[in-house]
Amino acid sequence: MLRQVLFALARSGRAEVAATSFPPSVQAARHRIAGDTPDDAVRVARELREAGLAVGFHHLGPEVTDERGAEAEVRAQLALIDRLAGAGLAAGADIALRPSALGVRLPGRDAERPANDNAARVCAAAFGAGATVTFGAEEHPLVEPALALVEELRKEYPGVGATVQSYLRRAQDQCRALAGEGSRVRLRRGGHDAPASVAFKSPKEIDASYVRCLKVLMAGQGHPVVATQDRCLVDIASALAVVNERRPDDFEFEARYGVRPAEQRRMAGLGAMVRVRVPYGPNWYPYLARTLAEAVSGRWCAGPRRAR
């Protein structure tokens, strides 16, 4: 019940106004959000790189409702890539894209074409600067359009990555389809509410699905991104990497900015590739509310219960 309430608050404009105008909540958000601008993201990226961590970026822009909004999102992503390149931090960075922010669900029979064009512009800039691009997770109705977009873009940019969410019942099949040579597949538990017809509901089912997906990805020919900080799932991923004779640079762990930073550095110090996902942008409230909803979703995987 609490999880559903938090998801509802993430969509509440009134709650967002209250939170973003309350100084203590804004200050608390700064522990998990780099700031509002690309320069804030670059500043945090430099600090993380100096600590031996790889970096990924998640732009928190407003909800896109028209083509102008999608164009603004593209410009924001291009500005970040430009700032990273200027600071010598673009190579090896990963840029997260949201299909909805590129215009996938705008009205119109041919809505996919502008979204493809918008994504291609960002991919061209990112790959030209030595960065990668990974499509992030969104609500279940957008999963298939996102995967179709990835498939189209990979014809020109084979390194484009996709996100699979283990709470969805088709997650294992999606991993099988995506785990080809050189493919980047980011695996996370899932952060959106969905009906039982398409999604697992219990923590036991979601974590079991996560492990099944890990087995597929670690045995495949792609580059798995283990997007969790749950200690049990991290241990299972590490064991599967050994079983499948993966080198440390053949896969990576993804952590959230501000969540157990000492553990991030410890793992990197042991030789693991750890990427910290850095959110930045003015529309931080929905992101923060959704991550809180995920945190109360419960755990099943045996082992220490720790924030992911």
Determine which of 26-30, 152-156, 230-234, 237-241 has the lowest per-residue pLDDT on average. 26-30
Higher-confidence position of 23 and 195: 195
Domain range for 223: 33-283
Residue 297 lies in a domain: no
Q: What is the CATH number of the domain that holds 154?
A: 3.20.20.220
Assess if residue 183 is contained within a domain. Answer: yes
| pLDDT score, position 16 | 46
Please give the model's pTM, rounded to 2 decimal places. Answer: 0.86
Residue 154 lies in a domain: yes
Contact 34, 41 (CB under 8 A): yes
Mean pLDDT of 131-152: 92
Please check whether residue 74 lies inside any domain of the structure.
yes
pLDDT of residue 110: 57
In whole numbers, what is the pLDDT of the chain averaged over residues?
A: 86
pLDDT band at 17 (very low <50, low <70, confident <90, very high): very low
Residue 197 included in any domain: yes
- Domain contains 170: yes
CA-nearest of 80, 92, 72, 97 to 43 is: 80
Q: What is the pLDDT of residues 71-93, one digit of tens each?
A: 999 999 999 999 999 999 999 99
Asked if residue 208 belongs to a domain, the reply is: yes
Give a yes or no: residue 238 inside a domain: yes
Number of domains in the chain: 1
pLDDT one-digit tens code per residue, 250-296: 999 999 999 899 999 999 999 999 999 999 998 877 787 666 655 55
CA distances from 43 to 34, 77, 273, 280 (A): 8, 16, 21, 11
